[in-house]
Amino acid sequence: MGKVWLVGAGPGAADLLTLRAARVIASADIVFHDALVQPDVLALASRARLVDVGKRDGRHSTEQRFINRAIVEAARTHAVVVRLKGGDPMVFGRAQEELGALAAAGIETEVVPGITSALAASASLGISLTRRGTARHVAFVTPRTGAGEDASEWLASAASADTVALYMASRQAPAIAAALVAAGRSPSTPACVVENATLASERIVATTLGALARQAPLALDGPAVLLVGEVFREASSSRAGLPWTPVAQSGSIASERRNVTGR
């Protein structure tokens, strides 16, 4: 039996991998990776067979039961098996199902944490999710539910937390904003959508819940996280001294791309 490593690929940039993640990827015999893992991260697996098992909203994707079966079978013929997941494996990464399947098969496993997208987006904005005196609790939620799952109770948590990070929510951002306002959050509450955090193609949409609720669905191509809370009030001004260049204007929502020269 080989060993299976569940490795966090982080938000995108290869140099944000942990040292342990880079070492394990480089030693892998086979890597089962998410669709959004960047090519320069996959390039570290120079001796491995690469298997794309990614899931993308609205596109054909690999069912979880097949992924579970594939990594179990791979561990019977390979010494080092890597399951490479975007962000952190333990945050909305369906890691528990894979860990359960591996444990049932008696296969040794280890999890290597990665930077989750909410933390990467916070760093890009230069704004703390837990700013002292403003935000004392943070909720990580997703409105998405899979087939056969119970309805998500995300709204109650998102309506009450000082700061909210909503995962897998960018396509539904206007509807989510409207639901939060209906649940009692002020329409003037700041909201930011951060797409492709840490990459050269990173884009920030800074607005309020009220304005976001009136918009058409956002045209985003990459992974994005929706951040809501009073701490983001400054996101439409200086961005904590970081260089930003406006690229588009749509209604009351300003869309901007970070200038990454010299990064």
Which amino acids are annotated catalytic?
34, 55, 168
Q: How many residues does the chain have?
A: 263
Q: By 3-state DSSP, what share of the chain in percent is helix, strand and coil, each rounded to 5? A: 30, 25, 45
**Token pair belonging to 100:** 């359960």
Report d(CA 39, CA 12) in Å as an integer. 10
Q: For helices 64-75 and 95-104, what crossing angle results, to 10°?
A: 40
Contact 202, 194 (CB under 8 A): yes
Q: What are phi and psi of 52, to 5 degrees?
A: -80, 115
